[in-house]
Structure 1
Amino acid sequence: MPQFTPTSLRKAVLKMAFAGATVHIGCAFSIIEICAVLYRNHLRYPGSDPRAENRDYFVLSKGHGVMAQYACLNELGWVTDTELAHYFGDGTRLKGLSDAHVRGCEVTSGSLGHGLSVGVGLALAARLRNTDQRCYVVAGDGEMNEGAMWEALLFASHQKLDNLMLVVDENGFQAMGRTKEVLGLDNLAGKLESFGFETRTVDGHDEHALDQAIRMLNENRNGQPKAIVARTVKGKGVSFMEDENAWHYTRLNADTFATAMAELDEQ
């Protein structure tokens, strides 16, 4: 039975990143609890089938955080241990960005700003088919700089898509610096509310708070799309990675891998 514990998921991310000599550890770590709570308590896959016609949808708009999702898919048995061990290797289907060819990944994303539009389309299609499917979209706060995000928000509100939930990973960073320095978002929750979204702000590493916010919003079918601003720490879980944007691009070596794994073992 999948447990989706944050420590085990972070260890899986480290193993993938080390095996593939690749990057984007920090931005995967910041969404670990978000992914864990969604997969453990909310996403519905009838028959444990990632392609079930009446499944819920998980759209990872910030596709560069895909190692967190792959770790969850591994616990579900949709991605194998062998695939994780060969992450980013020659011939693998597990690439460094979300890819719809992987079972469980709904979109090919990583070109930021597009995943929410796909999620809005999925939510609208479910509503038109009169199903009870929900669509959860995880986006980054840096990604919210993209104009396409706000067009999608306007459309979702106009269509009254209360089966759509946007979770913003507000870790305060984007690729080249702090979001407040690159293009400040200021009161993001207030902006989302002004676009017609029913919005909650929570600690994005508090699993109980995340779960409660998702449940409360899902219970309210009032014609408003939903949003959670999840305040997170980039690199959360490993002390020398936390709030260090260098770990957006830094690769693990044998020493940093061993140190990070040992720290997680103590948690």
Structure 2
Amino acid sequence: MFNVFIICLREGAEIAIVLAIILAYLKQLGQMKETGKVWLGAGTAVLISIIVAVGIFFVLGTTEVEGFQAVLEGTLKIVAVIMLTWMTIWMKRQGGDIGGELKRQIQAALSHGSVWTLASLAFVSVIREGIETVLFVVGSAQETSAFATVSGSVLGFGVAAILGYILYRGTHRLPLKSFFTAMSVLLIVMAAGLLSGGIHEFQELHMIPLGIEQVWSSKGLLDQESTIGSLLKAIFGYSDSPNLIQVLAYITYLTGALYAYFKPEKLHNN
């Protein structure tokens, strides 16, 4: 549940902040009558994301072709890692000017009389995060119950909605930079575990080699089937007996992703 909560809180916060910026700027411009189009675009994106999630879970739960489910689960996990990593680093680079860019797009839409552009702006902003969330939740949900998945999703998006409302009202200054940095680092660590799990799915089908079957064993110290062990497995991809390829993938990804995230941006001299 905790892993799904963190995922939905992080991605939901991005959605909430974008919508808060759009709605607050429309209010500032005296164009509140156009907010319905924003909600239409956002609502359509949410509906499509839910349909995609239900469809993926349905396929995973009903497929009977031997090996197909493992291939699909492994592929979803790896694709989710790629998308999340790219979006996390892209948002870090764009975060400083995201508000200004949104305002420019809103002004352009209003000046050209194309108010339906507001709906598409909200749609694109939400669907991007929505599909990313679906893939990451589906990949992580293999280690959690349906109740925990739903509960974590509701709580995560609920808290994100509250943060968005506070930002929209402008009654409190939120430490958004620190919040997103902490959430992004946590998601990168979780993604490393998801990548390791995706690789393991293919290894079970002998599509990826093991290297060394067991690099170490911490089973005596913390069994991955125990309560704490299963929790760490679900959140961070903990394995009490990992193979060499899993370990190398975990370390390589974690090192590379954290470096890319914290790497200082180059200053361009004009």
Give the TM-score normalised by structure 2: 0.29
Relative to the length of structure 1, the TM-score reads 0.29
Q: Which has the larger radius of gyration?
A: 2
